[in-house]
Amino acid sequence: MPQTPLTVAELSEAELLTRIFPRLELGAAHNAAVLLGPGDDAAVVAAPDGRTVVSIDTQVQDQDFRLQWRNGYRTTGYDVGWKAAAQNLSDINAMGAVATSLIVSLTMPSGTPVEWVEDLADGLAAAIGKLGAGSCSVAGGDLGRGGELSITAAVLGTLAGGQPVLRSGAAAGDTLAIAGNAGQAAAGLALLESEQHPLESLTPELRLLLDLQCRPEPPLEAGPLARLSGATAMMDISDGLVRDGARLARASGVVLDLDVPALRLLAAPLQAAARLLGADPLAWVLGGGEDHGLLATFPAGVQLPPGFTGIGSVQARGTTEAAGVTVAGRPADSVGWDHFAD
Amino acid sequence: MPQTPLTVAELSEAELLTRIFPRLELGAAHNAAVLLGPGDDAAVVAAPDGRTVVSIDTQVQDQDFRLQWRNGYRTTGYDVGWKAAAQNLSDINAMGAVATSLIVSLTMPSGTPVEWVEDLADGLAAAIGKLGAGSCSVAGGDLGRGGELSITAAVLGTLAGGQPVLRSGAAAGDTLAIAGNAGQAAAGLALLESEQHPLESLTPELRLLLDLQCRPEPPLEAGPLARLSGATAMMDISDGLVRDGARLARASGVVLDLDVPALRLLAAPLQAAARLLGADPLAWVLGGGEDHGLLATFPAGVQLPPGFTGIGSVQARGTTEAAGVTVAGRPADSVGWDHFAD
């Protein structure tokens, strides 16, 4: 007889926490910033320079992830935990700060397997460790019931005495640069949504793109390095290079002009997936979100910190021109991607 | 023709935020702690003593509130916003700390009326203002879609150089005291669930109980005052006096013994509702949650700070006795409430 998996409805909150906590213990180095961890009404986290950087982000089943994708892939608890951590850590990274703690609230239907929740805790811990959030740990959280799976994480961070890098500081003449992936997560999403190309048929190169959609890899060293290198503006790319770039451009009152050769380089790792699916890889580079790369501007002549690649320049806005993103001088959203294709 | 209300699906996130932000502006005094507010990848909040107290709490439709109750009451956005703020501010209060900011993530079905969301923002702001969280404001947040309404708030606070009051510090001989309501929210819940006594039939006294379920009033001055008065242990009562008291008792390795006359005094405001519904008011006092009163212990002889009332004493655990809560020496969970009724 097949064994029915143990569900969260069969455990008390205390019993479930007993299974989760050991999975979140990340070693002494990780816990340095958490002065009082889970178990009381609130946690206490160090804020050594007298300020706390804070952000919050929610993922909801069937909105931000499907439990079952068209190509056969099933989203694991590990994926959801990883992504919750990665998205939030990225917001701290985008300020040039370093994460000190995550506070996680998990809402689950009563039929959720306990194993899935344990897997989620493993994913949270793995993302913190493998993405290099060396001084971050899970300081607390909340468990509750709901009709659908939903995970909200709040993340705290420190600027270590520095100033946050805002979206509003880009100036004409600055160099525009990117760190991390651009388009991989979008290509991975297209693969997940493709019934014609089932999971087991994917080459390792394609599987990597799928993995980067499910478990994105924000470049967590790049944010603080950009701040120390004098980045004038920065944000994380969660909704796509053009959409997020336009936000930075508007906040700064400038135009961001992207170079075609740089975009082609970014598109190179996406060619195989684009050929398979008959898609335009440049559309993924320009429009794809969820990679959580960093878009930053630096004063001209500054040596870009490790991890960043120049992809264009910041230009003054013409008197009649809206702040926004252009590609080789043309508005990025009014020109077909095929203008720039090989 | 009846006008169809504008829904969130008809506005962009930016348009919706434009309607929400002005409602959250609480005046200069409130914003002192928020160094960088909404609009960038993360907010920056002051942590003047180098530490941040942090907690998180989620409310989900049909789990934590019903949109439509059996007695005819409809939960408003204002109620949900108020409760989200109140619950979270209470967690900071329970550490003896003062809230500096709320970060709010709201998940909504696409048919949610925009007016409901505006009302929710008003409720958040009103709770912060009216409950006396004088230096707190909303520093940031996240909006998203989901199949059900869900609101998660993370709250940050400061201990102003003091030590957090934990659950684990109660010692035999201490006085046990309570601040705020006990049982009102439970009585209000019973009224909301009662089909026999429709909303419009309730007297103002009964309506007040219903209101305290929908918009609880945690005593936010009491937490920091308790800390300054030398409270040895403290927690907020969200799951009921006996259940939460047992948590404090276990964390401290003691027995909390409640006085019957004190419990009768707490039950007095619940008598009318109890008579109407044929319920035991002491059951609400001992078992009712969601009032977010504070349970605290103080060294014997300390003058209780304003807002606190003595309700019993802390006793050493006998060698064979479990840490827990007793009422006049009998285990609170093994004796019927009628033992203590008038």
What is d(CA B143, CA B122) in angstroms, rounded to the nearest whole number? 16
Residue range B170-189, pLDDT digits in tens = 999 999 999 999 999 999 99
Nearest to B107 among A49, A150, A156 (CB): A150
- Residue among A149, A141, A142 nearest A65 (CA): A149
Distant-in-sequence, close-in-space partners of A149: CB < 8 Å, separation ≥ 6 = A60, A61, A67, A80, A107, A108, A109, A112
The boundaries of every CATH 3.30.1330.10 domain in chain B are 8-158
Nearest to B56 among A103, A147, A164 (CB): A103
CB B44 to CB A152 under 8 A?
A: no
Residue of B nearest to A235 (CA): B41
What is d(CA B317, CA A196) in angstroms, rounded to the nearest whole number? 67
The CA–CA distances, whole Å, from B223 to A44, B185, B310 equal: 16, 20, 15
- B177 in Cβ contact with B311 (< 8 Å): yes
Block means of pLDDT (10 residues each) for chain A, length 342 residues? 83 90 74 89 96 97 94 97 97 98 96 96 96 90 94 97 98 98 97 97 97 98 98 96 96 96 96 96 94 97 97 92 90 58 44
User: Does the CB of A95 have a partner CB in chain B at under 8 Å?
Assistant: yes
A contact test, residue of B41, B124, B150, B250 with most A CBs within 10 A: B41
Distance from B76 to chain A by nearest Cα, in Å? 19
- pLDDT(B339) > 60: no
- B122 in Cβ contact with B23 (< 8 Å): yes
CATH 3.90.650.10 is held by the domain A175-339: yes
- pLDDT(B24) > 80: yes
The boundaries of every CATH 3.90.650.10 domain in chain A are 175-339
Q: B336: pLDDT confidence band, cut at 50, 70 and 90?
A: very low
Residue range B116-147, pLDDT digits in tens = 999 999 999 999 999 989 889 999 999 999 99
pLDDT at A319: 81
Residue window 194-233, chain A: list those with CB within 8 Å of chain B. none
Pairing of strands B233-237, B254-258: unpaired
The model's pTM is 0.94
**Contact residues, chain B, for A150 at CB < 8 Å:** 58, 60, 107, 146, 150
Residue of A nearest to B14 (CA): A247
pLDDT at B334: 52
- pLDDT(B333) > 80: no
What is d(CA A293, CA A90) in angstroms, rounded to the nearest whole number? 8
pLDDT at B321: 82
Residue of B nearest to A44 (CA): B53
- Considering chain B, what is the average pLDDT of its residues? 93
- Residue among A254, A194, A214 nearest A84 (CA): A214
Burial (CB < 10 A; 0-12, 13-18, 19+), residue B296, is buried
CATH superfamily placement of domain A8-158: PurM-like, N-terminal domain (3.30.1330.10)
- Residue among B166, B308, B328 nearest B258 (CA): B328
Q: B14: pLDDT confidence band, cut at 50, 70 and 90?
A: confident
Determine the Cα angle at B72 with ends B67 and B76, to 5°: 40
pLDDT at B25: 78
- A259 in Cβ contact with A312 (< 8 Å): yes
Residue range B144-162, pLDDT digits in tens = 999 999 999 999 999 999 9
Residue of A nearest to B97 (CA): A42
pLDDT at B341: 46
B contact test, residue of A152, A165, A236 with most B CBs within 10 A: A152
pLDDT at B60: 96
What is the separation, in whole angstroms, between the first and last Cα of chain B? 57
- Cite the DSSP H helix spans in B34-106: 77-93
B312: left (phi over 0), alpha (psi -120 to 50) or beta: left
Q: B29: pLDDT confidence band, cut at 50, 70 and 90?
A: low
Got the DSSP string for B225-285? HHHHTT-SEEEEESS-HHHHHHHHHHHHTEEEEE-HHHHHHHHGGGHHHHHHHT--HHHHH
Nearest to B144 among A35, A58, A154 (CB): A58
Radius of gyration of the CA atoms of chain A, in A: 21
Coil, helix or strand for A309?
A: strand
CB A251 to CB B39 under 8 A?
A: yes
Residue window 71-90, chain A: list those with CB within 8 Å of chain B. 90
Determine the Cα angle at A313 with ends A178 and A222, to 5°: 25
